[in-house]
Structure 1
Amino acid sequence: MNRRTFHFRNFLLLTLLLACASTGCVRRRMNIRTSPPGAVVYVDDQEIGVTPVSANYVHYGTREIRLEKDGYESVSQLHTFKAPWYQYPVIEFFSENLWPWEIRDTRDLDFAMTPRRIVPPEELRSRAEQLRANAQAGYVTPLNPQIDPAINVAPQGQQQMLPPVMRPETLPEGGYVLPPPVLGQ
């Protein structure tokens, strides 16, 4: 075999290999639509635009998608983007680098937004009066009642002290009775 032919074949093979290696590509894109359109979309606390909107992403996994629109309830949802079969380890190398055509992975997400409930003034006033009455009676409504009974256990041998007047029917949902202050300790 001629030495010149050998170099030419190697050059041709190398060129073909580089051409194939440079063309492989996977494009990942999510399309987000809402009903009604016009909601601001946040993905992992990054604003990406107003619906309908499309955005590219690099990695599969769980994303937090938050939608906000005036006059509508905010929507916050965790969405998991599962990897297709051609993105599994080892196969991924060939689809990302050696496959000569572009692979498109498009995910469509549709959300229905509900109108925000407008509280009638009478209901708002009655709730305010109820909270005022509870505050005057010594009751407190916690902002975020997250009590873990495994951690927040009353010490044994101590009695629970309650206010002298207890009217549980006036407590709002999630409220609890505050113990009176203990003086002299």
Structure 2
Amino acid sequence: MAYNSRLNLTILVCIFGILAVSQTGCVERKLTINTEPQGALVVLNDEEIGISPVTVAFNWYGDYKVRLAKDGYGIVNTHRKLDAPAHDGFPLDFFYEVLWPGLVVDEYEWTFALAKYQPPSRQDLIGDSRRLKKAAEHQKTLETSPETDKGRKRLRD
């Protein structure tokens, strides 16, 4: 009899242990990126993740580099920060990720407004070309000036 009760207790402990391990906590992190209008290509930290609206799983909080592109609209290059919730810091993170018996879902949503692309006017293009020409001429003058040549000779000696 004692042997059977001990065996039953061992089996119960094993079953309880398996159940306890299989029911450990888990944190699921999701980020949804929307654009207005929808349909923009979304690149997150130099990785293409899809067309908006798009939801992606993430593992860490912090600064994210965001790039959005859609035909007929200006390209958006920006950064956004995801701040960690209180339960993701020590010692609560261990409790929620390992001991909590259920699923914790952290969901975040970012929305970006895209502006219509405005091509530069002819006058703007002419002004830009004149500024570039002056800058190039100034650079050429600096490269061929006598002071620069003396400096080069000193460096060679």
Query: TM-score w.r.t. structure 1 length?
Result: 0.66
Query: Cα RMSD over matched residues?
Result: 2.7
Question: Paired residue for 2:138?
Answer: 139
In structure 2, stretches of 5+ residues that fail to align are none
* Count of residues paired in the alignment: 148
Does 33-42 or 84-93 show the bigger shift?
84-93
In structure 1, runs of 5+ residues without a counterpart are 141-162, 164-177
**How far apart, in 1, do the equivalents of 2:7 and 2:63 lie?**
50
Larger relative contact order, structure 1 or 2 (CA cutoff 8 Å, min sep 6): 2
The alpha carbon displacement at 1:50 in A equals 0.7
Q: Deviations over 1:16-51 (max 9, x none)?
A: 233232232111110000111111111111110010
**Equivalent runs, 1:2-17 vs 2, <5 Å:** 2-17=2-17
Matched letter for residue 19 of structure 1: L
CA contact (8 A) 1:60 1:82 kept: yes
Pair 1:14–1:68, CA change in 2 (3 A): same
Q: What is the DSSP-based 3-state SS (H/G/I as helix, E as strand, rest coil) of the residue aligned with 2:33? A: strand
SS in 1 for 2:39: coil
Distance 1:15 1:87, change over 3 A: farther
Question: In structure 2, what is the equivalent of residue 33 of structure 1?
Answer: 34
The one-letter amino acid of 1:116's match is Y
SS in 1 for 2:66: strand
Match of 2:145 in 1: 181
Query: Matches of 2:114 and 2:106 in 1, distance apart?
Result: 26
* Overall identity of the aligned pairs, in %: 29
Mapped partners of 1:6, 1:87: distance in 2: 41
1:130 and 1:67, CA in 2 relative to 1: closer, same or farther beyond 3 A?
closer
Deviation above 6 Å: which 4+ runs of structure 1? Answer: none
Match of 1:56 in 2: 57
Q: What TM-score do the two structures reach when normalised by structure 2?
A: 0.76
Q: Distance in 1 between matches of 2:91 and 2:69?
A: 40
Distance 1:58 1:28 in 2: 7
CA distance in structure 2 between the partners assigned to 1:99 and 1:119 by the alignment: 57
